[in-house]
Amino acid sequence: MFSVEFSEFLLFGRQLGLALAGAVSLWGFVFTKWSKHRAKEAASCIIYEWLGARLLFPLAAGFFIAFLSWFLLSSFLPAYAHEGIGIVATEEQRSLGLEVSSPFVFLWMLAFAGGFALRRLRPQLFQKHMEWFYALQLGFVVLLMMLFSWHGAFDKAQVFFWGHTLHSILTVGTVLVLDFLFLTSKSSAILKQHVYPLFPTISKVIWVGLGIDFLSVAFIFQEAIALTPKFFFMQTVVGILIVNGALLAGPITRKMMASVKEGGKQLAKKWERIGDVAGVISISSWGTITFADFFANLSLTYLQFFFAYLSLIVLLFLGHLFWEYLAKEPPAMIQYLNTP
């Protein structure tokens, strides 16, 4: 149905899992480093350390999605640009990617398992050096992405493969981390005061990732463009993504930051809900174009593509509401910080 294959779902799963694991590792490293640089500011130190530890959960999710997809797939990752433009790897190139990457997948598995074992057996030692665990995870993710997309020659197609693959850490992966931070901070004013100011910086990283994707497309544009319903749908979503990103990084974030300052409580609920919508649109946009990238023969009309996209936005917004219902009380550590 719709000309899709099970292997394409696995390709998407592997890329999504690696992107999430890479982005979590990047920001986990940043937060744990910040916690040590701000040791004299008790609240900031505790909160950034807590956020670093909290990110271990989506790291585990990203690892298991990527590893399971790789295990079931055992083939090379084809690449398609987010603008609906792309080139497809040959079977020989896929075999080469599998051959050179397999040993490092198992090394990544050992590093991941060893880190979580240390967290279980020697929690204080793990906490003390947690940033290096994140750095090691990020290193493995970047290496695996480059190996999966190696096709045997350093040419413009290879630059495209690397640019398209690696930018996912800064785009779809970081968007997921941003939404996780937003949802995690909802139950506590002190968390919002520390998390909301991070949004402009994180948004800039997402823009950098989008720029890397655009630059990589320049290497293969003329030979890979195809004017299909999928292409025009992708242009629509990229346009929505850019407008929504500009609003989220600008006025929406400024209003959300103002809402947690003294006298801004009356703004909080309204701008939180607007932030919910903007965040859902961002995740839906990146998720949709990443998903569609891995289905070369997806036979949908423009309206069918757009209906699926809108449906995803609605489902994710309902997911936000459900998270909010479940997480009414802040974690015990954050309750302690809230105590005068």
pLDDT per position as a tens digit, 145-166: 888 876 666 666 677 777 778 8
Q: What is the identity of the amino acid at 43? A: A
pLDDT value for 81 = 43
3-state class (DSSP) for residue 17: helix
Between residues 257 and 104, the one the model is more confident about: 104
Segment 32-41, tens digit of pLDDT: 988 877 655 6
Which tokens sit at 221? Answer: 């544009």
Mean pLDDT score of the chain, rounded to an integer? 81
Which tokens sit at 138? Answer: 């990020």
Q: Is the pLDDT of residue 116 over 90?
A: yes
pLDDT value for 292 = 78
pLDDT, average across residues 306-328? 88
Segment 274-312, tens digit of pLDDT: 889 999 999 999 888 888 777 766 777 889 889 999 999
Q: Is the pLDDT of residue 78 over 60?
A: no
Burial of residue 47 (number of CB atoms within 10 Å: 0-12, 13-18, 19+): buried
pLDDT, average across residues 172-185? 92
pLDDT value for 4 = 63
3-state class (DSSP) for residue 131: helix
Report yes or no: 226 and 81 within 8 Å, Cβ to Cβ: no
Q: Which of 61-70, 131-140, 182-191 has the lowest mean pLDDT?
A: 182-191
Between residues 142 and 36, the one the model is more confident about: 142
Residue with tokens 């990146």: 286
Q: Is the pLDDT of residue 77 over 60?
A: no
Q: Is the pLDDT of residue 336 over 90?
A: no
Cα separation of 22 and 175, whole Å? 12
Between residues 316 and 39, the one the model is more confident about: 316
Q: What is the identity of the amino acid at 186? A: K
Q: Is the pLDDT of residue 182 over 60?
A: yes
pLDDT value for 314 = 95
What's the predicted TM-score (pTM) here? 0.84
Percentage of the chain with pLDDT > 90?
A: 36
pLDDT, average across residues 67-86? 60
Cα separation of 224 and 208, whole Å? 23
Between residues 298 and 88, the one the model is more confident about: 298
- Reported confidence tier of residue 331, pLDDT bands at 50, 70, 90: low
pLDDT, average across residues 260-275? 72
Q: Which residues contact 292 (CB under 8 A, 6 or more apart)?
A: 84, 230, 233, 234, 298, 305
